Amino acid sequence: MRITCPYCGARSSHEFAYLGDAAPTRPDPADPEAPDAFNAYVYERDNVAGVMDELWYHSGGCRRWLTVTRDTRTHAITAVRFTTMRFTGTEAAE
Partner 1 sequence: MSRYSVFSLIANALNGQKGWTPAWRDAVPKPSYDVIIVGGGGHGLATAYYLAKEHGIRNVAVLEKGHIGSGNAGRNTTIIRSNYLLPGNEPFYEWSMKLWEGLEQDLNYNAMVSQRGIINLYHSDGQRDAYARRGNAMRLAGADSELLDREQVKALCPFLDFDNSRFPIKGGLMQARAGTARHDAVVWGYARAADRLGVDIVQNCEVTGFIREGDAVVGVETNRGPIRAGKVGLAVAGSTSRLTKHLGLRLPIESHVLQAFVSEGLKPLVPGVITFGMGHFYVSQSDKGGLVFGGDIDGYNSYAQRGNLPVVEDVAEGGMALMPLIGRLRMLRSWGGLVDMSMDGSPIIDVGPLPGLFLNTAWNYGGFKATPASGWCFAWTIAKEEAHRFNAAFRLDRFRTGHVIDEKGVGAQPNLH
Per CB under 8 A, residues contacting partner 1 are 1, 12-14, 18-21, 39-40, 42-49, 52, 54, 70, 72-75
Q: For residues 15 and 91, which CB has a smaller minimum distance to partner 1 in the complex?
A: 15
CB of 49 to partner 1, least distance (A): 5
Q: For residues 19 and 92, which CB has a smaller minimum distance to partner 1 in the complex?
A: 19
CA geometry: angle at 21 spanning 5 and 36, to 5°? 150
CB of 79 to partner 1, least distance (A): 16
Question: Could you give the C-alpha distances from 30 to 16, 27, 34, 89, in angstroms and in order?
Answer: 34, 9, 7, 16
- Three-class secondary structure of residue 53 per DSSP: strand
Q: Is the dihedral of CA 20, 37, 86, 93 positive or negative?
A: positive
Q: Are 93 and 83 in contact (CB under 8 A)?
A: yes
CB of 3 to partner 1, least distance (A): 10
Q: For residues 25 and 92, which CB has a smaller minimum distance to partner 1 in the complex?
A: 25
